[in-house]
Amino acid sequence: MKQIKVLGSGCRNCEITANVIAQAAREAGTEVVIEKVTDIVEIMSYGVMSTPGVVVDGRLVHAGGIPAPELVRTWVRESVSE
Amino acid sequence: MFEALADAAAFGLLGLDPSTPAGAAVQFFVMDVAKIFVLLFVVIYVMGLLRAVVAPERVRAFVRGRPDWQARGLAVSLGAITPFCSCSSVPLFIGFVEAGIPLGVTFSFLIASPMINEVAAIVLVGILGWKLAALYVLAGLFVAWTGGVIMKRLRPERWVEDYVWKIRMGDAELPAPDTSFAGRHRYAMGEVREIVGRIWKWVLIGIGVGALFHGFVPAAWVSEYLGGDNWYTVPAAVVLGIPLYSNATGVIPVAEAMLGKGVAVGTTLALMMSVAALSLPEMLILRKVIRWPALALFASVLAIAFTLVGWGFNAIA
């Protein structure tokens, strides 16, 4: 199961990002756990300054703005870990 | 082309009389909506294609560890081409502090970034001509530079929240961007969607206010009260702009209408800068990292700087 974290202080774009990922996962039939990280200390620990950021299985894959749908689909595909 | 379209819509389609306030206001509104949104789409797309934007993470890496004047110069000029939404101010502030970048330099960046951006600058050229655009950008760079220098003198470290000093930041290893043409195109389209989606409301409100001003405020009243001769119009414009917030692009049509009616250049620039750079929501967000005395000083330093710039331009105009 994939662990996806959406880093952001709770702004609208972070909500949208989380929703986009949830929907892409449903369409791909992948089971994911989406966690919204609003704690600034944890957000900064990933080196992200421009939110929203996205972390898939512990690896930062995106920062700054709502990610493109094509990009999101690659995250929820089962074999993407590498 | 835009004028013909606006004339056709206001006077042809709606049958309004060009000499009435409503006719003038509607014509202004249609013309500016068409012009500004076309400019926005084109400019943002081209910028996206060139990837002419710089992420704050890269600004941090560029600026850290440099002598003060170099750091400030970079912060001010990169601030002008770094778009960030105000919800990112907190991570941005902490990221700069953690990198050991002086607070004065961080303030310079926080002033420059919302006030000047390449999209607003190009729209400004399209609507008000390059001279005014250059004045606005130069005034903005100047205020960002001096504002940061003055903030440094006031020792704002005293008011930074304790937890900010303790945060340790990881290294972001962002995936390399896709630089093929298809990748650039996709990125540029995403930028257009994202930025226009974020700012269209401010732009429409700005055009609406500009249209009402253009149609309904008599030029005689403007020259009596808002011409360059009354010293208090500049500070009044700055104070009016503090609680008001708009994106830098949204304030351009208001400035267009004001200048068209004969409001002095310095007064108009002061209002533009105050609306774009100083806002209550931004202050509330920054309150998470720094206490009120510093924010009050920050707002005062900016308000005084805008006023001086406004007076300066009114004096030489």
**pLDDT (tens place) for every residue of chain B, 317 residues total:** 777 878 877 777 777 777 788 888 888 999 999 999 999 999 889 888 876 667 778 888 888 888 888 999 988 888 877 766 666 778 888 888 888 899 999 999 888 888 888 888 888 998 889 998 998 899 999 999 999 999 999 999 999 988 888 888 877 666 666 677 787 888 788 888 878 888 899 899 999 999 999 988 888 888 877 776 788 999 999 998 887 777 888 899 999 999 999 899 999 999 999 988 887 878 888 898 999 999 999 999 999 999 999 999 988 87
pLDDT given for residue A59 in this prediction: 85
> Chain A closest CA to B93's CA: distance in Å?
9
User: Taking a C-beta distance cutoff of 8 angstroms, is the pair B106, B93 a contact?
Assistant: yes
Domain boundaries, chain B: 2-164+199-316
> Chain B closest CA to A12's CA: distance in Å?
9
Contacts of A48 (CB under 8 A, 6+ apart): A7, A60, A63, B57, B91, B172
- C-alpha B278/C-alpha B113 separation (Å) is 11
Q: Which of B92, B172, B288 sits opposite A60 (nearest CB)?
A: B172
User: Which one-letter amino acid corresponds to residue A15?
Assistant: E
pTM: 0.82
- C-alpha A60/C-alpha B90 separation (Å) is 19
Which chain B residues are within 8 Å of A60, Cβ to Cβ?
172-174
In this complex, is the C-beta atom of A43 within 8 Å of any C-beta atom belonging to chain B?
Answer: yes
Residue of B nearest to A41 (CA): B167
* The CATH classification of domain A2-76, taken from the options 3.30.70.20, 3.40.50.1100, 3.50.50.60, 3.40.30.10: 3.40.30.10
Best residue in B109, B169, B191 for a mutation probing chain A (most A CBs within 10 Å): B169
In this complex, is the C-beta atom of A58 within 8 Å of any C-beta atom belonging to chain B?
Answer: no
Residue A49 to residue B91, Cβ atoms within 8 A: yes
Residue of B nearest to A52 (CA): B88
Q: What are phi and psi of B268, to 5 degrees?
A: -65, -45
Task: Give the ipTM.
Answer: 0.72
